[in-house]
Amino acid sequence: ILNVEQSPQSLHVQEGDSTNFTCSFPSSNFYALHWYRWETAKSPEALFVMTLNGDEKKKGRISATLNTKEGYSYLYIKGSQPEDSATYLCAFEPGSARQLTFGSGTQLTVLP
């Protein structure tokens, strides 16, 4: 069983604050780390697929970093807005099986 953990479980921030959360995953047999954003009643939306150690990806105010040697990834949101409120999921993809193991997510609420 692969262990993928996300912290914190939930987070409330004020509009304009920057925030970050963590995903930890196995450091062996790494193929890719996926980040998704999931708003209530909608489909999870793919944010990033990260494959290289040290990689940093950015999409607007959201960015992510990857450390495959120590098995963690950070997701950052700069200047949070109420529309950023969602659950952010990470998923580990091992090289031996092209399937995703998900963390339980970080639920972000941005207060106006």
Give me the residues that bind other proteins (CB under 8 A), please. Answer: 4, 32, 34, 36, 41-44, 46, 49, 51, 89, 93, 98-105
Q: Measured from the CB atom, is 40 or 112 closer to other proteins? A: 40
Residue 60 DSSP one-character state: T
Q: Measured from the CB atom, is 20 or 87 closer to other proteins? A: 87
Between CA 37 and CA 52 the distance in angstroms is 21
CB of 15 to other proteins, least distance (A): 26
